[in-house]
Structure 1
Amino acid sequence: MARRKPNPDELLEKLGYRFARPELLDEALTHVSAPGAGGQSYQRLEFLGDRVLGLAIADMLYGEFPGAPEGELSRRLAELVRRETCAEIAIAWDVGPYVKLGAGEAHAGERRNQTILADVCESIIGAVFLDGGYEAAKGLIGRSFKELLNAPRRALRDPKSALQEWAQGRGLPTPTYAVVEQTGPDHAPRFRIVVKVKGTENEFGNGTSKRIAEQAAARSLLLREGVWTEEENGVA
């Protein structure tokens, strides 16, 4: 069964943007392996789009989280501009069928390659920036990244890092961890860890490795002290 020819209008509808210079979108979708690509592949637009994306996301985070410290804003920014996130956005746009590849790359299924999808996401942003300016690019980014802005896919801080930052912010020594108990066979041990922070009660955590148990102990202390809430747990 022949594959249906992609309809550019459907892609434009997903982007929510119409190009005054359609050749920019064509360039943004052209991989260096495509026949006759030459210097017109998406690489330069990807370079530009990466910077525009970072600025727009930083701009949005600054407005969305007025009480957040610099460290949290930086972590949120890093999560939103990472390759996996950009690839996720490209999949939502369904850009795969529109990417122009060399015959070998197309046959190998490179339209589903995460690196290529992430690159194309950024190159399209760069193309919109050149075509319509910063506000047009920011509008595209806002529509596409808004949901992820408020619901990151991964924890922005691991509990140990968060606890250390909290302790330092209060002028306290670095938290310390110690093994309280180790049970189970050597090939499947379980650890019980205590975390101590000056001026607070000790907390405990269990896990199949020392690291997991330490994270569990730190998490428990953060929750108990009200630094994290159950709603924020995993994304705080």
Structure 2
Amino acid sequence: MDPALLELALTHRSYAYEHGRIPTNERLEFLGDAVLGIVITDALYHRHPDLPEGRLAKLRASVVNMHALAGVGRAVGLGALLRLGRGEELTGGRDKESIVADAVEAVLGAVYLDHGLETARAVVHRLFDPLLQEAPGRGAGLDWKTSLQELASVEGLGAPEYHVGEEGPDHAKTFRAQVLLGGAARGSGSGRTKKEAEQRAAAAAYEDIRGTEVEGDGPAGNPAGPAPAGGPVASPRLPVLDLPTPQANGSVGSPVPPAASAGD
């Protein structure tokens, strides 16, 4: 992967503002959003030939949303590589869902520019196939609290009750939420905002009731440790993006596996 393009994909606007308004990852994010959308939509269309449009849209929403994207980004250690301004560093920007999710899309946009759609498709499948497989049994994805409330009603468990606490200084607070059903704790989660903590707690409770694993639920993952002032570690590298140079005939060899066939 072109190191300069990857570096651009990891450059948040807060870093650009503090360094002379250099280019940011926002254009790549815009492109990557479209790439992710077409790959996931194509996969769902072919994997579920009998589902109507409305149901397909809900499945896509459970895979392509900020919470899910942030979970994918955390799983590959993207937060530690981000180029952030000092303000975002001080407020935990490396673990903010919106920042990590946007960076995932920017990286996908960079892969598309550097290697084309088929290699980008392979990377999307490598990162998102677990979510695609779980999609039929997942909640709405966009709002785990609503999904949990609906599931609890069906199961006769009563209305969810949330308890939220906070810790840390004002500029770097962490919120911790616990959700109870029938007086029993069923899930917990933490986040940079009260809403994020409650959503994670709801996702964990949903998993507990359904007995399924929800990507990125529960406590707020493993926030990245300190990084050099405002920037990523030197020579950013993501193992999942160890892509070969396309051959003269346009084919791409290992280590990226071929994309799953449309009928899979």
TM > 0.5 fold call:
yes
In the other structure, the counterpart of 2:258 is none
In the other structure, the counterpart of 1:155 is 139
In the other structure, the counterpart of 1:107 is 90
Q: Residue 62 of structure 2 contacts residue 139 of structure 2 at CA under 8 Å; is this kept in 1? A: no
Q: Rate the CA distance shift 1:97–1:206 in 2: closer, same or farther, 3 A.
A: closer
Matched, 1:145 2:128: yes
Q: Residue 10 of structure 2 contacts residue 83 of structure 2 at CA under 8 Å; is this kept in 1? A: yes
**Correspondence list, 1:48-63, <5 A:** 48-63=31-46
Q: For 1:154, give the aligned amino acid.
A: R
Matched, 1:32 2:17: no
In the other structure, the counterpart of 2:251 is none
**Correspondence list, 1:59-98, <5 A:** 59-98=42-81
Q: Residue 54 of structure 1 contacts residue 81 of structure 1 at CA under 8 Å; is this kept in 2? A: yes
Q: For 1:141, give the aligned amino acid.
A: V
In the other structure, the counterpart of 2:226 is none
**3-state SS of 2:13 partner:** coil
Distance 2:71 2:104 in 1: 9
> 105, 112, 122: which one pairs with 1:122?
105
Distance 1:129 1:40 in 2: 18
> 114, 117, 122: which one pairs with 1:134?
117
- Select the structure of larger CA radius of gyration: 1
Matched, 1:22 2:6: no
Q: For 1:47, give the aligned amino acid.
A: F
Shift in Å, 1:146:
0.3
Q: Rate the CA distance shift 1:205–1:110 in 2: closer, same or farther, 3 A.
A: closer
Count of residue correspondences: 159
Shift in Å, 1:51:
1.1
Shift in Å, 1:206:
4.7
Unpaired runs of 5+ in structure 2? 142-146, 160-180, 182-209, 215-264
CA RMSD of aligned residues (A): 3.5
Q: Rate the CA distance shift 1:55–1:105 in 2: closer, same or farther, 3 A.
A: same
Shift in Å, 1:138:
0.9
**3-state SS of 1:66 partner:** coil
Q: Which has the higher contact order (CA 8 A, sep 6+)?
A: 2
Distance 2:20 2:74 in 1: 23
Shift in Å, 1:73:
1.2
Q: Rate the CA distance shift 1:206–1:107 in 2: closer, same or farther, 3 A.
A: closer
User: What TM-score results when the alignment is normalised by the length of structure 1?
Assistant: 0.58
Q: Residue 84 of structure 1 contacts residue 114 of structure 1 at CA under 8 Å; is this kept in 2? A: yes
Shift in Å, 1:39:
4.5
Q: Rate the CA distance shift 1:205–1:78 in 2: closer, same or farther, 3 A.
A: closer
> Percent identical across equivalent pairs?
37
Shift in Å, 1:97:
1.0
Distance 1:110 1:93 in 2: 16
Distance 1:58 1:151 in 2: 15
Q: Residue 129 of structure 1 contacts residue 136 of structure 1 at CA under 8 Å; is this kept in 2? A: yes
Q: Rate the CA distance shift 1:99–1:75 in 2: closer, same or farther, 3 A.
A: same
- Listed one character per residue, the Cα deviations across residues 170-218 of structure 1 (whole Å, up to 9, x for unaligned) are xxxxxxxxxxxxxxxxxxxxxxx9xxxxxxxxxx985646xx9xxxxxx
